[in-house]
Amino acid sequence: MTELFVVITVIAVALIFDFTNGFHDSANAMAGPVATGALKPRTAVILGAFLNLVGACLSTEVAKTISGGFFDDSLITVPIILAGLVGAILWNLMTWLFGLPSSSSHALFGGLIGAVVVGAGLASVHGWVIVSKVLLPAIVAPLVAGIAAAWATRLAYRITRKTPSVHTNTGFKYGQAFTASMVALAHGTSDGQKTMGVITLVLIAANLQASGTGPQLWVIIAAGVAIGLGTYSGGWRIMRTMGKGIVEIETPQGAASGAATSATILASAHLGFGLSTTHVSTGSILGSGVGRGAEVRWRLASRMAFAWLLTLPGAGLVGGLAALLADQGVFGVIALTVLLAGACLVIYVLSRRHRITHANVTDSHEVLVLTAATPTTYPDDPRLEAPPKPKKAKKPKAKSAA
Amino acid sequence: MHIDWAALGVVTVVSIATSVIFTILLASGIRFVSAAKIKSNEGGSGAAIISIGYVLLGIAGLLVLFGIYLIVPQFH
């Protein structure tokens, strides 16, 4: 009975991870088209969600292992999976709060590694695999996609230099919509199966499913729906950073960066050197900005790079702490779930202070968390009704009269 | 410890080449179609130019289809 309870909890948490995976990565495909207006924000996320769902249902070859070679498969237990998922979810939510794109797979690996370290010691983790599967790709992905996007952007502008912008806008918007759809579909096939793999593994570990069999139909549908719903909910904070924050995206540039993103993702998936979708699409957008000669906000880019470096240890730390609780039997699991729910709620409440939705995603380039974090504020902020600090209040005060 | 440098090199070359080729096809297609429209607006015949444009866009479309073929595992 208690075992069944734990299994159900882990499956629920796995689906929550899948949801955060969806809304964290929604921007990878759709930030470009939303920023240039190739797709309306609502249309973009509905299309993205649908393609993610389709992709998840298409993927047949579910990853048999979720350890990724970072540690021995035999070390994986149900509490470790739970702790790893908790670490990944919290890291995804925290980076979302700050509007920072970061790799969901790195978060999941980080959470699992942290949990394994707590359970089996530091020596059980293969350090070199971290270098070859996390560090190196994190440097290579933005470089390759960035160079591809920079060249493609430069060519796109050069070729259509004398073409009227009415024609280029329409043409490139179609190109953008197609490449974005490919990225969304590819995302569904690759990331949807991650959660299916986790759930199937848990079911097998609990003897509810025969070892060596593939995921059951309801698992496929549940995982597809969770990642689709996540994509539909949009992750507008990250969408703003990627579509507006790094660089202003023009239509030809958006088409070129979309082409670079889908080409690099497909090449990496089929030619044997795995790259993170998030790192690839961020690199494309950066590169396309350089290629157009636009003003790239390098400070934001370096903050993102910092978040990428922190993803594995950050999620690992949370995963490790979670593992301490998850190991304490059924009460530990209950306590962990309650803590997870509480933390999610806190992050959600914090995010409400500066809401970003489909309606205002392209209005500004900044993702604010706390007013104190940056001197500029939104005029519609209710707290501006009371006069804030005299120095910073000048501009907003005048606008809040309306 | 093993890093697959060959795979890394192939991925780099293929990614950059495909992005550039796709963009050239798309941008040139747009340019030709636009030029044909302008020409026919001015009273000339843009039939030859527009067909070149559509051929280029068609090849770009084939690249998209090939991408979908790669994504969907049931196809291979």
pLDDT in tens, A366-379: 887 654 444 444 45
Tell whether A184 and A322 lie within a shared domain. yes
Query: Across residues A5-29, what is the average pLDDT?
Result: 93
Query: Across residues A273-301, what is the average pLDDT?
Result: 93
pLDDT in tens, A157-215: 999 999 998 999 999 999 999 999 999 999 988 888 888 888 988 888 888 888 778 88
**What's the angle, vertex CA A154, arms to CA A151 and CA A158, rounded to 5?**
135
Tell whether A222 and A293 lie within a shared domain. yes
Tell whether A182 and A135 lie within a shared domain. yes
Please name the residues in contact with A238: beta carbons below 8 A apart, sequence gap of 6 or more. Answer: A23, A24, A26, A27, A31, A95, A96, A99, A100, A101
Report which of A276, A281, A231 is spatially closest to residue A256, judged by C-alpha positions: A281
ipTM of the complex: 0.94
Query: Is 60 exceeded by the pLDDT of residue A397?
Result: no
Between chains, do A182 and B28 touch, taking CB under 8 Å as contact?
Answer: no
Please name the residues in contact with A385: beta carbons below 8 A apart, sequence gap of 6 or more. Answer: A400
Determine the pLDDT at residue A134: 85
Q: Which amino acid is at A35?
A: A
Residue from B23, B57, B74 whose CB has the most chain A CBs within 10 Å, to mutate? B23
Tell whether A21 and A84 lie within a shared domain. yes
Between chains, do B67 and A164 touch, taking CB under 8 Å as contact?
Answer: no
- Please state, rounded to an integer, the average pLDDT across all residues of chain A: 87
Determine the pLDDT at residue A399: 45
> For residue A65, what is the DSSP state?
-
Coil, strand, or helix at residue A71?
strand
Write out the residue range of the structural domain in which residue A93 sits.
2-369
Contact A70, A113 (CB under 8 A): yes
Give dist(CA A35, CA A187) in Å, integer: 20
Sort out which chain A residues have CB atoms less than 8 A from B73's CB and list them.
58-61, 189
Question: Directed axis angle between helix A104-120 and helix A2-36, to 10°?
Answer: 150
Tell whether A44 and A151 lie within a shared domain. yes
Domain ranges of chain B: 19-75
Tell whether A393 and A276 lie within a shared domain. no
pTM of the model: 0.87
Q: What total number of domains does chain A contain?
A: 2
Burial pattern A356-370, b for ≥16 Cβ within 10 A else e, equals bebeebbeebbbbbe
Residue from B3, B10, B19, B49 whose CB has the most chain A CBs within 10 Å, to mutate? B19
Determine the pLDDT at residue A400: 46
The answer to whether residue A54 neighbours chain B at the CB level (below 8 Å) is no
Tell whether A246 and A128 lie within a shared domain. yes
Q: Based on the number of CB atoms within 10 Å of its own CB, is B65 exposed (0-12), middle (13-18) or buried (19 or more)?
A: exposed
Residues 150-179, chain A: which have Cβ within 8 Å of B?
151-153, 155-156, 159-160, 162-164, 167-168, 171-172, 175, 178-179
